[in-house]
Amino acid sequence: MSKLYIVPTPIGNLKDITFRAIEVLKEADLILAEDTRTSGKLLKHFEIATPMQSHHMHNEHKTVNSIIQKLKAGTTIALVSDAGTPAISDPGFLLSRACIENEIDIECLPGATAFVPALVNSGLPNDKFIFEGFLPVKKGRQTRLTLLAEETRTMIFYESPHKLVKTLGHFCEYFGEDREVSVSRELTKMFEETIRGTAKEVLDYYTNKLPKGEIVIIVGGKK
């Protein structure tokens, strides 16, 4: 019987892929990849010859129906994103929902997700937390930050390097300069770094040192 496998891939260090993930990717009939060039490097490294098809945020609305038809016809499909677990700030939700609506089996393998090591590394309370992903770029950003200023749970954000300083400045403005913050970047890679301190201290650090790489920000809740 056909099935959709959701397969996490390494966020940096290729050794973090699981034996089972490699097995599923080899045995699947088709791999849906966010970027076939990026995933192609991973498949080549592990000698996986399974055909790939592009499936990303710009075409997923158009391709979901055709993918469902392939699954109904008996095709076993594996979904991957460029890094980490699909559907976590990456394509995957629309296809998963469509599979459920069409009574198609889904199996999500455990594996890499950037926010988990960043949260644990932060030293901030992790018994209760909320995942915010990327903040709105313009519309709704102020409203969201005003609401989150009252949040008592630890908050998790994703951010791009060129917007990090701006976002940290907004945290100082809306949450207060003394709010506890931890920034992890380049997780699992050679230049992995975690900087902890108040929002103002971390802002000052990255104002004087241009950040690079994938970034996860952990913010302490309101006390």
Tens digit of each residue's pLDDT (9 = 90 or more) over 55-86: 987 888 888 999 999 999 999 999 999 999 99
According to the model, what pLDDT value does residue 89 have? 87
Same fold, 4-108 and 115-219: no
11-62, pLDDT tens digit by residue?
999 999 999 999 999 999 999 999 999 999 999 999 999 999 999 878 888 8
d(CA 142, CA 149): 11
CATH number of 4-108: 3.40.1010.10
pTM: 0.92
- In CATH, the architecture of 115-219 is 2-Layer Sandwich (3.30)
| Domain ranges for the chain | 4-108, 115-219
96-129, pLDDT tens digit by residue?
999 999 999 999 999 999 999 999 999 999 999 9
Asked if the model's pLDDT at residue 1 lies above 70, the reply is no
